[in-house]
């Protein structure tokens, strides 16, 4: 067990890929600790317990003026309370407040500034001495070469790859013939230590300690020694250095451990939306006096603790890849995995996006792979652990023909597509079109769609509106009442808003929210069909990339669109006028005797389960309601968000809104706010 942990620690702290994920590693270390407590005479010299970086890293060439220690862990509220009680016993008094900040999943470094200039960058190493990595100066965002003031300071923190930087790093690696990084942490560590590469990979720094240089006894050095941690980090941020306080999670000051636990829960809830990975939350005594009196152990300070969170990167085996054809004929690969629990759910499948993504990541059947999942995001395979390959792995076979119809494949774009397009994905396309958030035709399920398609009664979405009672009665398990009910549902579907009809078409590059934007921008189907690429690109979120695709799709669908019009399907978006995505009509014009729409100019995010009169509304229907009320529906909370509607079990989005001081209301309050629009037909 000790050798397993030591091997994993050498990989983890050395920038290589570990064959153990964080949860397994932590469990093994806890097991060793427990065994050594019960059998103190069996402790081995190579044990990782009580050592900085688990004793896996050799001493570097640059001594630290003050040891750069690791941090001890707790894993639950009980552990946090036990640590707090132990700290108070050691101090002999209550702790004078705590700070709570995210625990970055990167590589610990110390940045040495002399009179405002960054002179040296050193890794933690064994905690006593580290490795000089000053060659990376100038490539690390958030670590300026010059401070805003000519002061001397040592800033300790983490160098990491943000999610965006990680993706770009792997693109750069592939372009230069190198293997991809399996996860952001190993990527950051490998990047920081690399020299003489023909390419540069940017990284990001976040500081969490500010301390004086050894020979400085000036006023600023005195401030760094005596001020609370929260004030020191605010001063570091004012110098122009990234700190944990400048992240969306922030640095929070909490008087009690009850408030600390609330802050931990809030940061944990924000985890899926953070632009970087975290593996826990760090709690520190804020007072410099408390820190000094508590002191340090051989491995970790006694005045700080890391509240570890469950790992979102897990290691499992890729056992196969299957290929499915979507409603527009796109052929999508899916990874089949040895089931693994990630973030509270069992994962047996993960997205692979497209064949180019498979090749870029260098995946093979039988690989041990790093799989990532955060919150409700679809799990994805990051990369293989190349160094643990056994030689039994086999290449992934790409389909030579369409796996659905056996026809040809268009491989001219990254996303492969059956040459028959929608004709191949017709079954999936019809099922999508009749869904609740599109045409909402109750009573049409997979079996009925199969019959309609196989008998030739339905060859496209428009054919649904020409179905007759006689046609339906020829189908299996279709009686008089079922047929009449279905025809009534189809009749009601003719009146759906243009945005729903547009969404039902399954146009590439669009979805529910984009269909609403297009419909509200152009107001009529005729205007949409008449739009050229430039006009289409003016719709929010489309731009020059999606514009040509959408216009081309509309041309391909011309016959279907003509059939929809002939069948009497609605082709207008109620309550809007052409040319603006949220343009009010005369009834919304204050000059016409009406007040402005209740959500005019607001960006609204809905999270959690709705209650009260909104309970029956789907998320898409809530977004439609927001836009009818003059607002803009958004899927994520940002500084541009003005209002959050938080229902039952609202999680990370509510927590982020609280951090950004965004107004939060209940579903009942929201229903009252939009009552005029709701009463008019929500």
Catalytic positions, please? 103
Angle between helices 163-175 and 184-193 (to 10 degrees): 60
**Element housing 13 (H / E):** helix 2-14
Of residues 443, 437, 408, 412, the one with CA closest to residue 325: 408
- Name the CA radius of gyration of the chain, rounded: 29
The whole-angstrom separation of Cα 674 and Cα 671 is 5
Give residues with Cβ within 8 angstroms of 556, minimum separation 6: 421
User: 3-class SS at 660?
Assistant: coil
The whole-angstrom separation of Cα 311 and Cα 307 is 12
**What angle is formed at CA 492 by the lines to CA 486 and CA 493, rounded to 5 degrees?**
90
The whole-angstrom separation of Cα 192 and Cα 134 is 9
Torsion of CA 142, 146, 152, 154, to 10 degrees: 20
Q: Are strands 107-114 and 117-123 parallel, antiparallel or unpaired?
A: antiparallel
Q: Which two tokens stand for residue 552?
A: 């081309």
Of residues 202, 248, 185, the one with CA closest to residue 18: 185
Of residues 314, 312, 353, 339, the one with CA closest to residue 652: 312
**599 neighbors 629 (Cβ within 8 angstroms):** yes
Of residues 133, 208, 607, 163, the one with CA closest to residue 374: 163
Of residues 264, 279, 326, 374, the one with CA closest to residue 506: 326
Of residues 149, 257, 389, the one with CA closest to residue 265: 257
Of residues 393, 12, 387, 382, the one with CA closest to residue 181: 382
The whole-angstrom separation of Cα 213 and Cα 221 is 8
Q: Which two tokens stand for residue 328?
A: 């527009």
The whole-angstrom separation of Cα 107 and Cα 151 is 25
Burial of 190 (0-12, 13-18, 19+ CB in 10 A): buried
Q: Which two tokens stand for residue 620?
A: 């898409």
Q: Which two tokens stand for residue 307?
A: 């509240």
- Counting Cα atoms < 13 Å in the Cβ hemisphere of 132 gives 7
The whole-angstrom separation of Cα 87 and Cα 55 is 25
The whole-angstrom separation of Cα 31 and Cα 426 is 55
């Amino acid at each position: 067990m000790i050798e397993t942990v030591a091997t994993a620690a050498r990989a983890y702290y050395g920038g290589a890929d570990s064959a153990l994920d964080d949860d397994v590693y932590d469990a093994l270390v806890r097991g060793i600790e427990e065994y050594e407590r019960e059998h103190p005479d069996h402790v081995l010299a190579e044990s990782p317990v009580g050592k900085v970086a688990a004793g896996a890293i050799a001493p570097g060439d640059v001594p630290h003026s003050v040891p750069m220690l690791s941090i001890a862990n707790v894993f639950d509220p009980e552990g946090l309370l036990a640590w707090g009680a132990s700290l108070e016993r050691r101090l002999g008094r209550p702790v004078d407040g705590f700070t709570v900040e995210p625990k970055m999943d990167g590589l610990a470094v110390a940045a040495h500034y002399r009179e405002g200039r960054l002179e040296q960058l050193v890794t933690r190493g064994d905690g006593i001495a580290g490795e000089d990595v000053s060659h990376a100066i100038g490539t690390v965002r958030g670590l300026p070469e010059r401070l805003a003031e000519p002061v001397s300071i040592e800033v300790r923190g983490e160098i990491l790859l943000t999610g965006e930087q990680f993706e770009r790093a792997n693109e750069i690696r592939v372009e230069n013939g190198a293997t991809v990084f399996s996860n952001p942490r190993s990527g950051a560590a490998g990047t920081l230590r690399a020299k003489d590469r023909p390419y540069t990979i940017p990284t990001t720094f976040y500081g969490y300690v500010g301390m004086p240089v050894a020979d400085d006894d000036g006023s600023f050095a005195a401030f760094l020694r005596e001020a609370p941690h929260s004030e020191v980090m605010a001063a570091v941020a004012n110098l122009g250095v990234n700190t944990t306080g400048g992240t969306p999670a922030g640095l929070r000051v909490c008087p009690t451990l009850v408030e600390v636990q609330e802050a931990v829960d809030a940061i944990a809830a924000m985890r899926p939306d953070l632009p970087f990975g975290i593996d826990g939350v760090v709690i520190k005594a804020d007072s410099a006096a408390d820190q000094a009196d508590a002191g340090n152990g051989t491995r970790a300070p006694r005045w700080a603790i890391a509240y570890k969170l469950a790992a979102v990167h897990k290691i499992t085996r890729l056992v196969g890849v299957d290929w499915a054809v979507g409603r527009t004929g796109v052929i999508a690969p899916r990874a089949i995995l040895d089931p693994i629990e990630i973030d509270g759910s069992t994962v047996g499948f993960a997205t692979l996006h497209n064949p180019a993504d498979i090749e870029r990541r260098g995946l093979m059947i039988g690989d041990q792979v790093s799989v990532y999942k955060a919150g409700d995001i679809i799990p994805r395979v990051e990369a293989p652990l190349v160094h643990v390959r056994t030689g039994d792995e086999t290449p992934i076979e790409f389909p030579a023909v369409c796996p659905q119809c056996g026809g040809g494949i268009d491989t001219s774009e990254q996303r492969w597509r059956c040459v028959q397009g929608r004709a191949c994905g017709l079954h999936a396309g019809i099922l999508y079109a009749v869904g609740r958030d599109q045409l909402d035709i109750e009573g049409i399920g997979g079996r009925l769609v199969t019959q309609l398609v196989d008998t030739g009664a339905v060859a496209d979405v428009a054919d649904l509106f020409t179905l007759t009672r006689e046609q339906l009665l020829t189908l299996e398990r279709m009686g008089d009442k079922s047929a009449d009910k279905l025809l009534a549902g189809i009749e009601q579907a003719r009146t759906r808003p243009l945005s729903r009809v547009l969404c039902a078409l399954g146009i590439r590059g669009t979805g529910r929210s984009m269909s609403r934007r297009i419909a509200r921008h152009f107001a009529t189907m005729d205007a949409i069909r008449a739009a050229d690429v430039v006009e289409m690109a003016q719709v929010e979120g489309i731009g020059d990339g999606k514009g040509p695709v959408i216009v081309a799709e509309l041309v391909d669908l011309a016959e279907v669109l003509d059939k929809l019009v002939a069948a009497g399907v609605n082709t207008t978006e109620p309550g809007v006028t052409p040319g603006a995505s949220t343009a009010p009509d005369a009834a919304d014009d204050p000059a016409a005797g009406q007040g402005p729409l209740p959500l005019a100019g607001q960006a609204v995010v809905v999270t959690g389960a709705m209650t009260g009169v909104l309970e029956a509304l789907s998320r898409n229907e809530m977004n439609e309601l927001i836009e009818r009320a003059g607002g803009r529906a958004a899927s994520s909370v940002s500084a541009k968000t003005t209002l959050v509607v938080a229902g039952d079990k609202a999680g990370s989005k509510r927590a982020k809104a609280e951090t950004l001081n965004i107004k939060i209301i209940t579903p009942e309050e929201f229903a009252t706010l939009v009552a005029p629009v709701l009463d008019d037909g929500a």
